[in-house]
Structure 1
């Protein structure tokens, strides 16, 4: 049976996978990075409180972005050009290396940036179900 491809590209995976994180950039931050006067970037952490956990914040000039990790169901593979090497079955003197690709990293999550408001708003009060239940029982009795 004939195949539709005339050329195969050998594929391999490196045993030493490198660690990468992909950062999803909002368009306004990308424009800042590409500008002639790109601001310095710093990463700080927000203080944790009793009701909210701390999180990482990317500061770029006067803008602040909350950093949040998002998992992906389909991993992204980072590839690097490589070439084949002779095996024990090959004659090393006549072997011709062929172009190939090697995966050097598998990325299963990305970093999402969320624009932070300039002023800090108090979180809305959320009544717990037992508080609502107790209040409704008190209203029925009274």
Structure 2
């Protein structure tokens, strides 16, 4: 009886895993990279990565810049790792077999990616309006004063 398991493909994992990160690209940045005139040759379309200044309340972060657009780069972990596979060849382990010198097609995992880099559009930097006390902040403050 024939089954879907008639042909096995040997699978192995490379001990020296390569380091990869997946980068989510917005359509406009992807179009720049795939265009006939890549950004490396056009200073207006140049894609760069810089860092934002750290402040007392916020840490610095990486920013991808493309033309007049800025994207904050943020690492996101995933519970389902992605494996990058590479075709390879293995040899049968049976030494008595005359065909043992014929390689068998197989697959080798060369990397496991557990996180990706997400790009978040940065809005134009504008000064924040002055903070106005909200009624709930005043209410909470007055309740603390009454208890104390």
TM exceeding 0.5:
yes
TM-align CA RMSD: 3.0
Given the two structures, how large is their TM-score scaled by the length of structure 1? 0.80
Q: Which runs of 4+ in 1 moved over 4 A?
A: 123-127, 129-132
User: Alpha-carbon deviation of 1:74?
Assistant: 0.3
Aligned residues: 138
Could you list the runs of 5+ residues in structure 2 that have no partner in the other structure?
Answer: 40-44
Alignment of 1:1-142 (within 5 A): 3-37=3-37, 38=39, 39-87=45-93, 89-91=94-96, 94-95=99-100, 96-122=102-128, 125=131, 133-137=140-144
Shift of 1:85: 2.4
Larger helix percent: 2
Map Cα deviations across residues 27-69 of structure 1 (whole Å, 9 max, x no partner).
1211121223333222111001122211000112222110000
User: What TM-score comes out, normalization by structure 2 length?
Assistant: 0.78
Partners in 2 of 1:123 and 1:17 — Cα distance? Answer: 49
